[in-house]
Every structure is written in C-alpha cells, then in structure tokens.
Structure 1
C-alpha cells in the first residue's frame, strides 16, 4: 500500500477578530492561539517548517502542472499536439520557441520557485533560532535530527536556485534570508556568477549535513538524502557553462563532478531496478534507483478534473497533492481515452531506438515508456484493452498512425474514474548517475570505463522480460523477450543511424546520428534511457558548450529544424528557428518586470 505523503505544510498566522461596540481596551488577540512568535518552538513544529518547503514542489508552478512542460517542451524529444494549439497554446509556445513574458506558466513557475526559496530560508531561520531550546544540541539524537532538517532545507534552497537559473539565467534576485518586505521586495539581480556559487555551496553543505543515503522503507522515505544533494551538485559542475553567468564554453568541471559521482557509486546505496517501468509508476516509488522524487498522492478531497468546466483546476494543483501530468501528457484525447494530450514524443525520439533488420524496435524501453505501434494495450472507457491502432482511432487519428504517440511514463494504462494522479515525479535517478559518470570518464581520458558504465544501463534494458511486467497491458508482447540489444562494442561496430526523420517526400528533416564512437553511444543511451524526464534540453546545451565534443555544432540541429519536424508529424506549423543566444533561457516574466523596478529583461525578453 502506498505510504501517506509526509510533506504537508502548515499555514500559520494570527487570527484577529474584529468586533464592533466593544470595550476600547479589550484585547482581541487570543494569547493561546498559534502565531509565528509561539509556534516554531518545538521539534515537531520546526519539522513542519521544513515540510512546508517540500510542499512548494507540489504547486502548479512546480511539478503539479507546469514543470513537466517547462523541462520537456523545449527539447527535440517533444512535439506539441493540435489539442495544445487549440486549448493550451502556451505549452505549444514553449515548444515553438515563441514564448513571451506574459505566459502564465512562466510567471507561475518563477513565483513558485521563489516561494520555495522563501520557505527554505524561513525553515533555516527558525531552526537557527531554536526557540525555547526545542532541540537540545548537546543531545546526539536531537543534534542529528536538527542537522538533517537543516540539510533538507539547504538542499531545497539549492533546488530553487538551480531551476530558476536554468530557466531564466542568473541575472535575477537571490536571497539567503527571509525577505523583510518593503524595499526588499524590489531586490535587483544578483551579481553574475553569484547564484551559481551559492547553489554549489548549498548542495555541498546539504551533502555534509545529510548523512543518510536512502530512506527506502522507513517513515522518512522520500526526504532528501546525501545522494540527492550530491547528484544535483554533479549536475551543477557538469552544467556550469549554462548555469554560471561568468563561465564560458569549456568551463564544465569534469574532475569535481567525477569525484562527486564516485561518492554516490561507491556508497553502494543505489542500484538499477530490475523493471525499467518501475521508475515512472505509482508502484515502487522512492526505490533504490530514485535519487529524489516530488511526492504526490491522489488527494480526492480536492476538486479534480471536471470535463464540463475544464478550467476549474485551481484547488487541484494548489491545495491538493495531485499532479496533472498524466491528464495532459500521456494518452490521446480520443473517444476511448479522453485525456487532454497536449504533448507527445517526437518522431526524432521514436526513431532514436535501435531496430532489427525488419525495422522493428528492439529496445523494450520504447514500449515501456511510450504508447506506440506494436506496444502495450490501454484499458479504454469501453472496458476493453485496446492496442495502439484502436487507442489512436477516430476522427483525424487514423490518418496519423505511426506518427502520433503517447507518453506512457507517469501514466496509468487505463482511464481513471477521477483524473487525479498521485504518481511521484522522479527528478533524478541512479541510471542518470551512471551515464553522467561515463561522460566524466570520457572527458578525463578513460574511455574503457565509460563503456562499462554505459553497458550497465543497457544490461538492465536487455533484462526487461515478461516476468517483470505482469500487467495485462503488456501481456503477450514480443518486446519482453529480452536479450536483443547489442553490447556497446557491437553497437559501435554496427554503427546504425538513429534519430533520423525523413519527410513523406523523401527529404531529410533530421539527419540523425551514426553511432560509431563511444561518445555517440553515450548520447544515444542518455536519450533512450531518460527521455521525457526533463534532462534532454539541459544535456543538449551542455554538449553544445563542450569544445572537446567533435559533434558540438550539430547539437542544435534538431532544435533548428524543429518546425519542419513538427509539420511532418502533425501538420502544425509556427515553430521559430532556435537561436542559442535568445532561446537558451526563458524571458523574465512581465509580472516581475512590472512590480520590481530594479529588474530588467534578459536576452529572451
């Protein structure tokens, strides 16, 4: 049975009763009522302060709604749908590189990531005060919990900094204190490079304060761990050229990243799940492969999706602990499914997977993470298990079979009676750590070790057999025979071209890549293992900023050709040509520019 989620924040404040015709000297404030002055003076309430910071990840500007679009839509693994163009155009604009500062998704994400920063700073301030000696810091047990809570709050502040800079660049405000109001609300941008140094220190400090590597099976399951902090620290070192405003191409810190990743690997605390699909379902959450997850549960006490009033979602994504990802980014809005289906896997991604001599995909990860031809079945509204051809049927769907797909990751393989999902969003997992370590090995001259770590990830894919996938959705499917993927050496010797997209007229839209080197094998493995998990755009920008990569100039080709690929897949046009200087970051939201006179736009504004 799924554990009750622990990250429920307390909303605190003084309640003032306004009464008329009362004695002038009457005291209207109840001295026994909770207030900020008397609330944070117990271990329990200080723990709630940290829990409240976790809760910010579950908001609409976090992973409850907008973050999956913010992280995935700009990559070449994503295509927007006609449903998005007609009913959710701002998600389509993220994919089209036509974003402007007025988009609600941008302002909500900007706001909620700063709310996360505020909540983390508040928790740290209250812990530092340790009011009424709530923690006896001379007591080992108390000190351990105190340090752990500080480590969690510092980690969450690091997350806020990481995602804010990744999306908007580093010319934005930053605080390591609780805002005092007034003029402080109009804080000017930090000095260039300052936020990068602060986020690195946050993850370093958090990794030292957090001593547990894994809480699987305990009451603290899902909290940040030492591994969580180190994983994001390695991301910072590898992504320095796009996270540090003072850095340039070639400034990634491979040596530091490698040392951090070695700590994670040598801990022995993590491993790959036998079943690839366990990394994106409600079963086996917070497992040995997961480094950090945003915790969700299907909280049906909040208002869910109402087909008669589709815009009525505020209480769902603000007060509940549900995620909208399944409703908007999974199966199609066909007669049998009826979901919104605002984005789908691209043809470039579909063609990234290795095939046999007859052209059939041999990598089970394609079928375990997407609704595609010859793939799993879906339990539709009729009560029937539907193959791909029936799931994508009716209306205009028939004409686009083989080009229109669904994302099976984070999707229940059936229609829910109440479209509220409690599937945790995995921010980072151990398979990514292994591939990051392989990349660091390549950059430090150890190609043999790099191949070994790529092979570890491929081995798990090769071992995904029917015995591990016992749901009716996968019953009888040939893709679970196992053992069809070649080794890394065999893959390079076979040198297939993957990711190529050819138009109906025979023109090459996306050239794809011939896998004839270990570096190219690694890029391929990143894509087929981690697709639609939020890291593809980040990786493309890193690789483009790596002068050691002989393919660096090609890393932007699929983004530059995205309009043609979008038209080929959907007939929908309007995607602008990707420009690195303009489209690396998203524009500073107009809500910030109009309320903060000390702020200015960035290159995307």
Structure 2
C-alpha cells in the first residue's frame, strides 16, 4: 500500500534553499505570501514535515528516479550499455565504459543532489534541536525521537553516498547551507573526517529510531518509514566498507567485529524476516514488507501532468528505471541498459546447461524464462527480441527487477511505480555471513547463506501470469545447499566468445568466500551494491582472491564488444575509476575545492 501523501507532504519550497556544494544564486525573489523558514517550523506538525522532507529527496528524477540506478549498476560488471544507449545516451555509455569526465551531466546532478539531501537532513536536525522544539511534542517523545533519528540517518546516507562515489576529500556540513560565499566555498574535508561523522550519525539514529514492529503495528500511516534496523544495517556497511570510505585508513581496515555486532542486533530483534516469494522484493506487490529496511517510494502517478519525479505541482512520483532497463524497444522501452553475459552465466545450471536458480527468471528477461505482456499480448524472449538478427539472441537480455510484467495497465513506461529497495534483510544475512567468515566461523556463515538459498527454492504460489508454467511455480526449486555446492565445485561466470576464446575464465566455487560472493550476486543483482562490494573485496587483504576480484571490471570492455559489437570502453583502472570525478562546475565555482583521482 502506498502512503506517500501521508509520509511526504512535507518538502515545501522553504526547504529548497540553496544546498549544492557550491551554488551561489545571482538574485533572490521573495514571495510575500509564502511561508518563511523563521516562522514555519514552530509547530509539532511542521517539525515532523522537516524530517519527512528527507525521504523525498532520493525519489526525485536526478537521484533514484533516474540517475542512481544507472550510475550504481553500470559501473559494475553486472550491466552493460546497449546500441540504443550508444545512439543517444552518452552519459550511460561513459559510466559503463569508464570514460566519465568532470563534465558528465548526470554525475553532476547526483553530486548536487547528495548535498541537497545533506542540506535537508541538516535543516531537520537544526529545527528539531533548536531550543523549545522538543517541548512542542509534549509527551509524544517517541515521535520526536523518531523524527530526529530519521534526520541523522539521512545525513549519514548523504555522507555515505558522497564518500563512496566521490571519495572523502569533499565538502561536508553539519548545518544547513544558506548559499552565501562562506558556504559556497566550503573546502574539502581532511581524509577520515566524514567517515567518523557517518559513524556518529548512524549511532545516534540507531539509538533514536523505533524498531520496525513498534513503528508499523497499528500505525499504517508509518508504512515506508525507516526503523532502527536501517541505521544498524547502513552502519554495518560503513564498518565493512571502511577501506574505501575512510581516506585515512587503508586496505585491510574493515571493522568486522563492529559490523557483526550491528547485524546481530537486527537479527536478534525479530523485526525482519525473508518474505516467501523472492519476486516480492522487486515488484509493485507487497512493498515495504517484512524484508525491507529502507525503500525509495514510487507510485504510478497516472493523474500527474508530467511523468517526472520532481517536487513541483502536477509532477509525478514515479521511477524511470523500467523504461531504461526493462525490455527491448520492440516492447516500448528505451532499453539503455542490459544485464551482462557475465551475470547471465553466474546463475547455476544443471547437467543440461539449463538455469536452475529461480531468481534469474524472477529478475531477468532471458531465454526460456518469464513472459512479458506488451499491451496485454504475451511476448516470450524470442518474439520480444525479434528485431535482432538470430545471431544476437542469447546475448541480449532485459531486466525484470523493479519493473512491471504487463504494460497494458501502465502504458507509459516512464511512470514506473516500483520502489527501489535500498536495504533489505537478505543483504543483512549475507553481510552477517561475511562477518562470520572474516572472524573465523565459516560453519555459521554457511547456515546463513543457506537461509537465502532455501528461500530462492520456494515454490511461487502468488505468481503473475508472466511466470505461468515455469518450474518454480510447480514445486520447490533444486538449488543445492551451500555444502553440496562446495562439494560440486561448479565454475560460474565463465564467458566464451563465438570463436571459443575465453573472455572471462569464471570462478570455481570451492571456498566459503567464493560461495558468498556468488550468493551476493544471485540474490542482489542489479540492486546497486555490486560495485561497492567489489571495491570492498579488492581492499580485503585477508581474501586470497582480492587482487583478481575486479578482473570482471578490467575485462568488461571485452564482454561489451562480444555482446553488442560496440567498441569504445576502456579497461577498468582501480586508481582512476574506483570513484567518479568531482564535477567541473564545482571546481570552477569553488576555489577551495580540488579534483580527485578520477579528474
């Protein structure tokens, strides 16, 4: 059930003061009838709105409404760009091909919106901690604490995105910027500063936020809000990702014990669990379910005049992910991004070479898989991609995750209604398994990996017509247990071209570490975490595979050419491509800012 009008009616014009890292306005127009900041946040209701505004920023078009799914997935080895992107979408081509420059438009938008999110969180924190603000809530201390916890979480989230995507020598504020010169010319922080602020913010958020059960039971108006588990899960990611988030640290600096402790709190809370149907984590059904810790909320917005998620009157609240990712041009999509051959070959197969992992069919449009309905008419893989020569069939795929199965009810594919699941319980269990491996307890790690694999085998009962007749609707799947898979030692992710030349040799699943990495992919593919994980693993000196774990990125250009015949991408270079360049506009406007290794 969508409750966006209840949850997000807050982000008023008063919250949209200049918030970019360096953006000083040339003039100021004042509406004499508009609310002003000094008098607006003087009631309990309006203070709640200040916290609510944080939820709205990730949803806008230049963030998760369009840009972020492209940015997070295309830099990984799970996705490549298509001929359609090569013909008219140079920003996505650059992300995927590791040729991004400081003038890259969509990167600039992301950089700006990270700071808009930071501004919005800082504004909420300031207003909620001003003298007398707590008294406005009276005896309702729980709502006050929740609002403040939400603001701390989203400030930490902005800091996480900033350091992960741009490095940690960037501006950072703990106050709402006003747009004056002192704000616009904010210098880069010293290495390690933002990491420590993230930890502090998330620790506060976890203390203040209620558990999911307390938050939701009897309170349907809270559906979509984050609980304590979201802060704990992001804090665990921060600890595990310290080598790439903390510029004062280095390879081998991950805080495994601290991360494990946060993850144990989530598991022991009994607030979360795996849903029965894997597909429920990436469709418009059963959103904000018991597996979800944080989702970016989208709705169809059929009555909106404009199909863009922007905070303006008569603009929609929808995602463009499905038109860019989902399906071929013959079925109405832009089809700028498609799953890579490496991802397709990562799924386990039987002796006949047939995929046996139900998650592949529930998240991808691939041969012998689910059926897409175009204007109510069924289209299998072959007649969906029949605009291609037969030689390309088996190389071009579509993304079913976060996309609809039938466009007849939603013919405008730019009005995607499916929430992006940013944090979910399956990821928590996999992170916990990883912490167990890193702290010497592989036996427990395999138990938690098996929880994920067992759910993948569940029979799909509430299946959509797209799944009709597929094996997982007739009974349980046949994915082996973790121990059985380790005994079988299959090779996954191997890519061989039409001439028989090996592009990627694949990985033999013969250790718990390799099994875990494989399971991360099969469970979380195209959800935006693959590149983050690869960078972490490459910086884990305890992992025997840490030097070659990024080989898929280094050789991605070869996969791109094999699948599409498109050339132009370059081999991934860790020192240059692990982060995105600081936008040129920021460097031009802010004399106290400098570029990073990607500039």
Instruction: Return the TM-score normalized by structure 2.
Output: 0.93
The alignment status of 1:324 with 2:316, answered yes or no, reads no
Displacement of 1:523: 0.8
1:149 to 147, 150, 162: 147
Displacement of 1:553: 1.2
1:170 to 168, 171, 177: 168
Q: How does 1:301-380 map to 2 (within 5 A)?
A: 301-304=303-306, 319-334=315-330, 337-380=331-374
The alignment status of 1:511 with 2:505, answered yes or no, reads yes
Displacement of 1:212: 2.3
What SS is found at the alignment partner of 2:190? Answer: coil
Tell me which residue corresponds to 1:243: 245
Q: How does 1:22-101 map to 2 (within 5 A)?
A: 34-101=35-102
Tell me which residue corresponds to 1:438: 433
What SS is found at the alignment partner of 2:422? Answer: strand
Contact 2:305 2:315 survives alignment (8 Å): no
2-side partners of 1:69 and 1:123: how far apart?
29
Q: How does 1:417-456 map to 2 (within 5 A)?
A: 417-419=411-413, 420-456=415-451
Displacement of 1:399: 3.1
The alignment status of 1:412 with 2:411, answered yes or no, reads no
Displacement of 1:88: 1.0
Displacement of 1:517: 1.0
Cα deviations by residue, 1:535-571 (Å, 9 ceiling, x for unpaired):
1011111111011111111111111111111111111
2-side partners of 1:88 and 1:325: how far apart?
14
Tell me which residue corresponds to 2:386: 393
The alignment status of 1:476 with 2:472, answered yes or no, reads no
What SS is found at the alignment partner of 1:426? Answer: strand
Distance 1:32 1:104, change over 3 A: closer
When the two structures are aligned, how many residues end up with a matched partner?
577
2-side partners of 1:196 and 1:202: how far apart?
10
1-side partners of 2:11 and 2:522: how far apart?
40
2-side partners of 1:317 and 1:364: how far apart?
42
Cα deviations by residue, 1:96-131 (Å, 9 ceiling, x for unpaired):
000001111111000011000001101111112256
2-side partners of 1:182 and 1:493: how far apart?
63
Contact 1:297 1:322 survives alignment (8 Å): yes
Distance 1:184 1:130, change over 3 A: same
Distance 1:388 1:134, change over 3 A: same
Displacement of 1:61: 2.8
- Segments ≥4 residues shifted beyond 6 Å: 29-32, 312-318
Contact 2:300 2:416 survives alignment (8 Å): yes
Structure with bigger gyration radius = 1
1-side partners of 2:94 and 2:313: how far apart?
22
2-side partners of 1:317 and 1:492: how far apart?
56
Instruction: Structure 2: state its 5+ residue gaps.
Output: 16-29
Contact 2:309 2:319 survives alignment (8 Å): no
Distance 1:31 1:414, change over 3 A: closer
2-side partners of 1:69 and 1:508: how far apart?
28
Contact 1:64 1:317 survives alignment (8 Å): no
Distance 1:496 1:147, change over 3 A: same
Tell me which residue corresponds to 1:191: 190
2:226 to 203, 211, 224: 224
Tell me which residue corresponds to 2:578: 584
Cα deviations by residue, 1:24-49 (Å, 9 ceiling, x for unpaired):
xxxxx999863222211111111111
2-side partners of 1:386 and 1:316: how far apart?
37
1-side partners of 2:216 and 2:142: how far apart?
19
Return 278-287 or 30-39, whichever deviates more. Answer: 30-39
What SS is found at the alignment partner of 1:379? Answer: strand
Instruction: Structure 1: state its 5+ residue gaps.
Output: 15-28, 306-311
Instruction: Return the TM-score normalized by structure 1.
Output: 0.92
What SS is found at the alignment partner of 1:509? Answer: strand
Contact 2:103 2:585 survives alignment (8 Å): yes
Displacement of 1:511: 1.0
Displacement of 1:55: 1.0
2-side partners of 1:317 and 1:344: how far apart?
33
Tell me which residue corresponds to 2:211: 212
What SS is found at the alignment partner of 1:351? Answer: helix
Tell me which residue corresponds to 1:533: 527
What SS is found at the alignment partner of 1:344? Answer: strand
RMSD across aligned positions (CA): 2.1
Contact 2:275 2:291 survives alignment (8 Å): yes
What SS is found at the alignment partner of 1:293? Answer: strand
Q: How does 1:2-13 map to 2 (within 5 A)?
A: 2-5=2-5, 6-13=7-14
Distance 1:82 1:408, change over 3 A: same
Contact 1:500 1:512 survives alignment (8 Å): yes
Return 514-523 or 358-367, whichever deviates more. Answer: 514-523
